[in-house]
Structure 1
C-alpha cells in the first residue's frame, strides 16, 4: 500500500427478507421489435405470476470513514457515500 494514500473503510452486512413474485415473458415481435409495447406480453418464459416466494438476500455495503490526505479526525470526508460491494450467495 502506498503510504501517501491510506484510506479507512467501514463495512456492514444487511440481511433483507422479503416476499416476491417472479414472472418473465417472451416479448412479442422479438427483442424490442415492433409490437413490444408496455402492455403486450408473449408466452410465460419462466416463473409463476401467482406464486409468492420467501426470499432472503445478504448485501455488503461499505463507506469511506477518513483518509490521511485530510485531517485524521474528519469522520465524514467529502464524497463518502455508502456503496454496495457484494451480494452474498448463502
Structure 2
C-alpha cells in the first residue's frame, strides 16, 4: 500500500464498540491522529472511512491511534478499497512507494 500504508497498518484490532461517526473520524484527521491525510480533506475522507467495509473495531483503532495492526484479511481488503476511494473521491494523491 502506498497512500495510507503506515497509518492504516497502525489500526487496532482490539476492543469493540459503536462505529465512530463521520465527525469523530474527521476530528481524528484534523487532530493529526490520522497523519497521512491533510486537514482540508477531513470531511470527505471521514465519510469514505465510515462508509467503508472496515470493521467497527478497525475504525475505532484508527480514530484512537492504536498501535496494533489490522488482523483480519477483510480489514486489509477494506483498506485497499478505502485508499482507492480516497484517491478517486477526495482528491488525495497516492504516495510513492
TM range (shorter): under 0.3
Which structure has more RCO (C-alpha within 8 Å, separation ≥ 6)? 2
Which has a greater percent of strand? 1
Which has a greater percent of helix? 2
Please report the TM-score for the alignment, with normalisation by the length of structure 2.
Answer: 0.20
